[in-house]
């Protein structure tokens, strides 16, 4: 199954030469919740072309960028390897992040419900999760969030912000969650 997923994404990323997409709204519209301090670590999980990783690196984070697609990781390495602390081809279902390892985790347009407890545990105490993915507009319903589902998936975190807008003119909509791991947990 992982090989199939990797191969599907490798062909989608067969390099298009397009400019990087903008960072996800869950970051750009909720920047005030970023933890402040020295040497903070951030993970862009299932990073794709790593637009979110770039945005975090530009704000001083030591960023890890992980994706299952060798093609997209090769593209990142050829483009800007020096910017990130750690760039990996990594199947996060098989090899999730370690507990207590990041001050910030961003997940955009990726949904694996079984991984959510590991994502939550991978935040350091006081760490912040920025999560954004679709509620409407994908053909495979397995990848669509139900109403308030992000709130349920991350119920162990302290919710800082949650948005669940109506679908746009193309029938697409994405929920956005910003949530913090309590310091004593
Ligand atoms: C829709 S793209 C989103 C990419 C990026 N987060 C963004 O918002 O632009 C989904 C990404 O998930 C990656 N992916 C899918 N399954 C994965 C897995 N098991 N482990 C790591 N990455 C995975 C794909 O390679 C793809 O880059």
pLDDT confidence bin for 94, thresholds 50/70/90:
very high
Q: Give the pocket of ligand 1 (CB within 6 Å).
A: 5, 9, 21, 24, 46-48, 51, 67-69, 72, 91-93, 108-110
69 CA distance to ligand 1 centroid (A)?
8
Does the pLDDT at position 1 exceed 60? no
Pocket test of ligand 1: the residue of 11, 16, 23, 68 to mutate, having most ligand atoms within 8 Å of its CB, is 68
Give 79 or 64, the one with higher predicted confidence. 64
Please tell me whether the overall predicted TM-score, pTM, comes out greater than 0.85 for this model: yes
pLDDT for the residue numbered 15: 61
- The residues, any chain, with a CB within 8 Å of residue 15's CB and separated by 6 or more, are 71, 75
Ligand 1 atom closest to the CA of 9, numbered from 1: 25
Residue 37: half-sphere exposure toward Cβ, Cα within 13 Å: 10
Mean confidence (pLDDT) of the chain:
94
The values of phi and psi at residue 54, to 5°, are -60, -45
Per residue in 155-183, pLDDT tens?
999 999 999 999 999 999 999 999 999 98
Pocket test of ligand 1: the residue of 20, 42, 110 to mutate, having most ligand atoms within 8 Å of its CB, is 110
184 CA distance to ligand 1 centroid (A)?
31
Q: Are the C-beta atoms of residues 84 and 67 closer than 8 Å to each other?
A: no
pLDDT confidence bin for 71, thresholds 50/70/90:
very high
pLDDT for the residue numbered 45: 98
Block residue for tokens 């990041």: 102
pLDDT confidence bin for 3, thresholds 50/70/90:
confident
Domains of the chain: 2-11+23-28+38-180 (3.40.50.150)
* Strand order, beta sheet including 173-180: 86-89, 62-67, 41-45, 102-108, 123-136, 173-180, 158-163
């Amino acid at each position: 199954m992982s090989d199939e997923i990797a191969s599907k994404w490798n062909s989608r990323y067969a390099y298009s030469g397009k400019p990087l997409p903008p960072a996800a709204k869950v970051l750009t519209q909720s920047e005030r919740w970023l933890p402040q301090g020295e040497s903070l670590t951030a993970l862009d999980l299932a990073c794709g072309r790593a637009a979110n990783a770039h945005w975090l690196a530009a704000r001083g984070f030591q960023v890890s960028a992980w994706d299952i697609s060798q093609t997209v990781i090769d593209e990142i390495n050829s483009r800007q390897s020096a910017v990130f602390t750690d760039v990996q081809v990594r199947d996060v279902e098989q090899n999730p992040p370690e507990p207590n390892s990041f001050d910030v985790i961003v997940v955009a347009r990726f949904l694996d419900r079984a991984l959510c407890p590991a994502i939550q545990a991978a935040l350091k105490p006081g760490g912040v999760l920025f999560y954004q993915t679709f509620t409407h507009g994908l053909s495979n319903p397995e990848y669509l969030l139900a109403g308030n589902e992000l709130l349920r998936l991350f119920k162990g975190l302290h919710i800082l912000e949650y948005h669940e807008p109506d679908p746009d003119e193309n029938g697409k909509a994405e929920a956005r969650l910003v949530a913090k791991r309590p310091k004593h947990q």
